[in-house]
Structure formats: structure tokens, C-alpha cells
Chain A
Amino acid sequence: MSRRVSAAGCFLRGVALSLSKPYLAVSVWLIQLLLACVLILPVSNALHALLDHSSTGSRMVADPDFGWWETVRRVHPDLLGVLPTAVQDATGVEGVKPGSLAGLQGIGATAISLAFLGIVLHAFALGGIFGALREPHSSLVVFGREGMRRFPAFLAFTLAALAAALAAYHWIYLVTGDAWRDRIEDLDTEGQAMALTAARVGVLLLALAAIKLIADSVRAIWVARPDLPAVSRLFAGVAAAFSRPARLLGVLVLYVFSGAVLYFLWIFLDPSAGGEARFALVPLILAQQVFVFLRSLLKVGYYAGVSEALTRVPSPEYSYVPAAGVAPPPSVSRAPDEAAVDGPSGTI
């Protein structure tokens, strides 16, 4: 008897898988931490030079001081450059122009460079995650091996997805923003203008979600179907995304929602506020890293959820054969619409 697999079921199974293989989340967390650590010295030195001897420092322990912040931006443009403005423009009605990157300096420019490096390292990590998820007895070694093995292809997918996302931002958000810049003032009310912006944002988010889900489907199928030629795997991945759009989108929405809940809790509880009395430095750093680790667990859980949504049986590429009774019979756990890609015994 077949049973339809829900998006929530896939996501929850993905999170359970993530919890069962915590070294995957640890690996992701470590990559992010090491990338961020590149900034520790320049940020720390700049802040200590500016604050340690300053009377303003005591006011800055818990909360930022507007005057100090504005003065530092003005007196030390070398620290952040136009990064704060670019970040604000990115969420502005007209959007951020690519030329804004030219104005970045110092720590701001380094942060953006590190983010690009992070995207490249992420391609490696995704190969490791998808590969290790399909190994019942995987390890950090498997993660590394699978990551390196998939790296060229996954880097290509990542760069293609990034390019598609930037193109979507340009064509859907920037171009429409330019086109409406003058006409938006002709609308009758600000409410209409906000609705128009919301529509632009909504379409952009849908496009970005589609790009991401296609990229993740291709990755999942790339690992799940090593028996197919590369081009076939690519198209099978794209086809898989289009064959289960609702379920995949559901997994993505649950992932975004759970992440948003975490951020909401962080901001609501605000453990870094209140000065030294409420949270000393070491507990604060620990809390921050626990938060990032939870995000990493969710991230791995999302990818496992995507993999679950597309295929749930181990790839025959591996030596592992599930023991009788451990792996559920395909007819029970597979959704009716999974036949095209699932089941190595049927199609491979």
C-alpha cells in the first residue's frame, strides 16, 4: 500500500538524519567559523584601537552608540567603506547596483570576498553532505572524500545557480525598479506602491526559490544516480525538481521558517544585550556558536530533506546493502510519483 510523502515528513526525516550524523553540521559550522575567523584580527584590532581607551567604550558594552557609529564611519571610511549603504540599498525599493562593490574598502570588502570564498567552499561541503547522507556508516572521512569527488560538478552547479540568481535579481528586481522609478509616484496611494514592491519581491523570491530547488535537485540526483551519464543526471535532476515542485517548495519553506524562528528567538532573547551583568563574554560566544551550529544542523537537515523528497533508498554505487526489515519496502514508503527516479532495483 503506497503512502504519499509530505513535505513536512521529508523535512523532519531530513532533520533526523542531520541529527544522526552531527559531524556534517559540525563540518559546515567549522567552515563558516574558519571563514569568519579571518575577520577576527582586523575587526578586533580596529575595535580595540577605537574603544579600549575611549570613554565611549563603557556605553558600547551592551548597545551601539549612534554618535560613535556615525563618527567612526565618517572618520574611518577605510574600515567599512560603503558596505552599510550597500546592504541597505539591497533591500531598498530600487535595489543595489553591481557598481556598489567598487566602493567597498577594508573590512567590508574582506567580508564580501570571504562570502564568495564561502560559496566556493559550500560547493565542496554539499558534495560531502549529499554523499555522506547516502552512506549509513559514513564519517568525516566520507564527507571529505565525497566533497572532493563531487567538487568540480558541484562548483559548476553552484556558480550556475549563483549566476542565475544574480540574473533574476537584475531582471526581476533592478530592471523593474528602474522601469517604475518615475511611474511609481503616479500611483494613487503609497499602499499601491508598496503592493507593487511586494509583488516584485514576491516574484523575485519565487524565482530564487525555483533556482535553488533546481540546483539542489540536480545535486541530489547527481549523487543518487551515478549510473547515468552526466548529461542525463543533469536533466534528471531538473526533471525531478519539476516533478515534485510542491513537495520541494514545502521543504524549503519549512527550512526558511524554522531558520526564521531561530533568528526571532535570538533577537527576542537578545543574549548579547544588557552589558556584562547578564552575559559574560565566554557564555556569549558559546551561545552564538550554539546558534550557528543549530543553523548548520537545520541546513544539513534541509539537504537531507530534499534528498528524501526525491529519493530515499541508498545508491547502488555503495557497497552497503540494507538488512532485511531495516529498509522499508519501496511500495510502502515511496510516493506514487517517485517511480521515475526512485528504486535502484526497478530502474537501474
Chain B
Amino acid sequence: MPRAKGRSSLLALARNALPAFAGILLTSSLGGAPLTKPIASYQISCRLDAEKKIVEGTELLTWTNTTRNPATSLQFHLYLNAFRNTLSTFWRESGGIHRRDRLPESWGSIEVTRMTLADGSDLLPALAWISPDDGNPHDRTVAEVQLSRPVAPGETISVSIDFRSRLPRVAARTGWKGDFFLVAQWFPKIGVLEERGWNCHQFHSVSEFFADFGDYDVSIDVPARYRGKVGATGVRVEERNLPGERVLYRFRQESVHDFAWTADPDYLVVDDVFREPGIADVQIHLLLQPEHRAQEARYLTSAKAALSGYGRVLGPYPYPTLTIVDPPWGGRGAGGMEYPTFITGGTHRMSPVKENSPEDVTIHEFGHQYFYGLLASNEFEEPWLDEGFNEYMEDRVVGAVYGSDNPILTVFGWRFPIGIPIRRPLDVNRRYFKVAGEDVLAAPSWKFRSAASYGGQVYSKTALALATLERLIGTPAMNRALRLYADRWRFRHPKTADFIAAVNEVTGQNWRWFFDRTFFASGAVDYAVESATSERATPPKGLFEQEGRLVEKNPPDLANPKGWDSVVTVVRKGEVALPVEIALKFDGGHTYRSRWDGEARWRRFRVERGPKLIEATVDPAEKILLDVDRTNNGRLVTPDPRAASRWTSRAVFWMQNLVDFLTVAW
């Protein structure tokens, strides 16, 4: 199709046009050996009751204590209990609204019906609910069992668990809608044991997940009408008919830290392959809704662009498969989410090309295969390391492949692009400016003032801060820092300090101050040109020394000054200081550039007897993307009324039309 061809051309163009990715050699980490040593591995057999919306299963957890301390207890995530009632921490924090959607009053839960160790000892009586984050006595999303015998450092144990999961109407990344199922956070999953103890957070409204790597082997028993319409984390290794009009699918994947699956008899299954020299092929499975059939190429092209773009900066995607789920109408709560090797997208029946949906969401969720999947940072405690870093990379990849987006005007459900470009990364992250100063970016996810502040800080401020850093240290250095960070921390749990260390190592400078002012402070950046004047130079007046006497006469060299005297005052209106450039543009095309460390509250630039000043601009190259008000960054010496006059005439014209419309109606 022409569109698909066009997008393929875009992809090819992007490969050539991505200077940011130049010079980075792709190397494969696939070689048959385990990608990483497993800590928490699962063998799960489950059965879906599609009518009752219940998954019953048995899991065998194999867990190794990798700390230096004995473990006297085990802690488990039981996250479906977030949907158990309105007293859960998730419901309390969300107020019944998630991602601007009202949560359906359809309840979900997970019950553990058996928990035994390999020696047969029953752990269930020792299971107790805990709420380490907020002390909510009604929250049932984290459970702890005391062990009769501690697990020694380096020791591996097996825990056998039976569970029963009731799925809610799809919301907050899991559930059902009709025959569609997105089954996530559905099995008892062990927390992360650190040297300081268990790291096992409750299910919060805006936060995501944190778990250890392991190998997953999952068998899923579904009604026969789902034959061929089941997708999951990892590689499908078995399909087998079962008695009673049922079918079993088995999936395996090593070196991941979660497992999700989906089933929908309406899926159109599209298979494709991502191929790039030097790295192993990736099988792409697209599970598409029939009414989105026309967007098949858009999904696949964007997925390949993501595989290529992220891979070139952060190293090759190491898994053999990528499954993309297109949620149905009414299943928006399942959209825009990431699980290992498995992402959910989302689009509209009629999505204008310049809306870049499903492209944006596909690329973003794929990006989490790195920032969350491979670089498994703690999404509760440092959410910017996955969402913010990924937003930054998404802006780079989408910007390189698709350019700018357009805002969308929705008229009675129909979507129309408005011909105003939304530039990346500045314009797409403007939501930060609305919440600048509300929170410190570096805060636990559940401690932000609001969901808007969380989104503005964690996603957008991080993206703008990293883009600013890239402009300060240069794109090649930024790429090397990202690659060093990604290589060093692949299959581990990195922290912010680890990325700062990578930046310092690559640049040979200490950039801690930058992160202190952007990540660890709440203040805003705002530089402005307060005034810019340029007046014809005049001879000085007063008494001057001439031949040893004071006389009221100008010295000959000052009597007839030529040129213009220009004065520019640049001010720092925000609390945060960053180094900025100042450009003074003079008549005749001369431009004078200067750097200012930005620390003082203001700085004045004076040019005597020079050409006439035309314009003064602070940060002319738009490096400081965190500047909350760019409209005050440039100032003309001579006002130019053209734009205002034209827009005034437009305003009056459309006001006339509004009056015409309203009066003609009645």
C-alpha cells in the first residue's frame, strides 16, 4: 500500500538521517548462553474461565537469595487485589480515575489457596498482609510469609503456590472486555530482596513495577475459540488440544522479570520479521483488532523503527520475539503498556497520519523493553529512569522517523489534525511547564502531588532535562553515555547515580551539579531578555582634560562618535541557574555571541559605537529546553507590529463569524 511504502521510505531515511546514532556499532548479545543468571523463575500452569473471567493456576517459584544476608521471610506482590474494593491504596490514590478514565466498578482479586515449600511445609498459615508504603490496613497488594528456616545467602528454594485470579473489567493495564483478555499482574510474584531487606511496594495509582530477572515457562489453557489468538511474553513452544473444546499454549522466555498474556478471538494475527545486519532477527507478532486492519503497516513500521532506533543507541534487542497487542474499543485501559517482549499499543478507527497514533505509543512502549525491561530500575522509587529516559529516547526516534505531530481536533468523535507542528522534544513535553515547581522530580512515584504532576515531572521534565544535557555535552557524548549505562546495567537494577557516573565517565567532567539542579530540585528555569535598546552614539558632555587643563570641549577623538550604543539586560527569572548563550544580532548581519554562567539574577551587555542592534536573544540555539517561558527569550529593539496586527484582524474576523453563526441560528 502507498502508505506503507511511504513509511518504509521514512524508516530508510531515518536510518541515514539519524546522526545521533552514527558510529555506534551493533553487536549481538545473543549467543546461546543464558542472558543473565536467574534469580526468580516461574513455572506456571493456568486455566482461563472466559465466562467467569477467572484464571486459576499453579506456580512453582524457584528463588535464590543473592544478598549477603539470610532471608527470614518472603514477600509477594498480589497486585490484582488493587481492584478488590475501593479501600485499596490504588483506589484511594486514583479516586476512581486512571489515565483520565473512570475506573469501572468491576472488581478483581487474587487469592492464594496453597503455598508450600519443597519439603512440603505449609506456608499459608503464616501469610499476612502488609502495607509498607502507606500503612493502609485495607490494602491487600503485598503479602509476607515468615519462614520457619531462613534462606541462606546463595541458597535456592522452591515454593509451590496455587492461586485464583478474578480479573476486573479492563482498567489500569489488566482485565477483560467482552471476550478480550489482557492478563497482567495475575500471579503471585515475589519481591526483590536487597541488602537492606525486601523491596516490595504496594500497587499504586501511578507507579509501575519492580522485580528480579528469571526464566518463565507458562502453560495457558483457554477455550477452543481462542485457538491461534493467544499472545504472551516470550516464545510459543507448544500448542496442544485438550479435552472439552479447549486448547493449551505454552510460552517460554528466559531473563525477563514479568509475564503477561492476552487472548481475543477477534484478533487478526500478523507476523513479520525485523532484520538488520549484525543482529539476530526478531519475530514480530501483531495482534490487531479487525477495525484497525488499515493500520497494520503503521504498527509494524513503527515497531521496526523502534527496534532499529533504540538498538543503535542502546545495543541490540536481545529477545527473539516482540508481541504487540492492539486493544479493542472499550479496552483503552489495557493500552499503552509494557511487559517483557510484550507491549500494548492503541489507536483509533480513523487516526490521521499526522496524529502519529499508533506510531508514538508503539515506539514508546517498545522503548520500555530497554528502560524497564533490560535496565530494570525500580519504577516505584525512581520512575524517571524508565518513563523519563524512555520519553527522551522516544522523542529522538519518533522525531527522526516521523518528524513533528499535529494537534488533533475532535469533533463529535471524528479526529482532524490541525496544521500546527508540535515539535519534539520541546512541544510534546509542554505538560511539564504546567506543573513546574509543584514537585521535585526525584521522588517516589506515589508521592507526587497529583497524577498531572507525576506525568509532567517524571515523563516530560526528565525528557527535557536529558535533551538539555544532550545539547550541553553534545549528541555523540550523550550516545556514548547512554550506551555505557545500558551495557553496564543490562539485566540489572540501575539507579540514577549509575547514569550520572556514566555521563561523568564519558565526558571526563562532573555533571552532578546539573542533576542536582534539574532532577533533585523543584525550581523552574526561566531566562528572559528584559530590555534591548540601541541609540545613535552621542558625544560626551562635560569637562575634559586637554593640554593639562579642564575645558568644556570634547577631545577630538570623541567629538563625532559614529555608530550606535546598545544595551541589553538579560535576567534570570527562575530559581534554577544553568549556563546560557546570548546572541546579539546587529544591522548588517553581524551576530555577537556570549556565554553567561547564568548564576546572577541579571547581566547587562553594553556595546558602544557598534552597528545598530536588531535583536537580542538568550539561548538562541534552544539548548535549555527546561526554560518555562520561551516567549520572553528574544527581544526586538524596534517593535514589529505585523504579527499582532494580522492576528488582531483574524480575531475580529472570526468573532464576526461567531456572531454570524450564533445569530443566524435563532
Contacts and interface: CB of A to CB of B under 8 A. Distances in A.
- The size class of the interface chain B forms with chain A is 35 or more
A272 interface: yes
Interface in A165-200: 165, 181-182, 184-194, 197-198
Interface string B204-237: 0000000000000000000000000000000000
A114 B330 contact: no
Nearest to B419: A63
B184 to A, nearest CB: 19
B104 interface: yes
B329 A56 contact: no
A119 interface: yes
Interface residues of A, number: 83
B291 A60 contact: no
Interface in B612-661: 615, 617, 629-636, 639-653, 655-660
B666 interface: yes
Contacts of B636: 52-55, 57
Contacts of A53: 532, 635-636, 639
B409 interface: yes
B102 interface: yes
Contacts, number: 210
A4 interface: no
Contacts of A215: 666
A187 B289 CA distance: 14
Nearest to B645: A281
Contacts of A198: 412-413
Given A39-B652, A44-B644, A119-B662, A71 B630 contact: yes
A251 to B, nearest CB: 13
Interface in A210-241: 211-212, 215
B413 A93 contact: yes
Interface in A64-96: 64-72, 74-75, 88, 91-93
Contacts of A33: 656
Contacts of B410: 88, 91-93
Nearest to B266: A188
Interface stretch (A98-106, A144-152, A292-300, A308-316): A292-300
B426 interface: yes
Give the most central of B104, B629, B658: most A CB within 10 Å: B658
Contacts of B497: none
Contacts of B332: 185
Contacts of A36: 652-653, 655-656, 659
Given A92-B410, A292-B656, A295-B657, A190 B349 contact: yes
Given A75-B631, A119-B666, A208-B665, A281 B657 contact: no
B644 A48 contact: yes
A92 B330 CA distance: 17
A52 B412 contact: no
Contacts of A71: 433, 629-631
Contacts of B30: none
Given A114-B659, A189-B291, A57 B644 contact: yes
24 contacts: A33-B656, A36-B655, A36-B659, A44-B644, A47-B644, A47-B647, A48-B639, A53-B639, A56-B631, A58-B640, A65-B420, A67-B430, A68-B631, A71-B630, A71-B631, A91-B412, A119-B666, A122-B664, A189-B289, A190-B291, A194-B413, A288-B650, A288-B652, A288-B653
**8 pairs of A and B residues whose beta carbons are closest in the complex:** A55-B634, A122-B663, A52-B639, A47-B644, A185-B330, A36-B655, A118-B659, A57-B643
Interface of B: 102, 104, 177-178, 289, 291, 328-330, 332, 348-349, 407, 409-414, 419-423, 426-427, 430, 433-434, 532, 615, 617, 629-636, 639-653, 655-660, 662-666
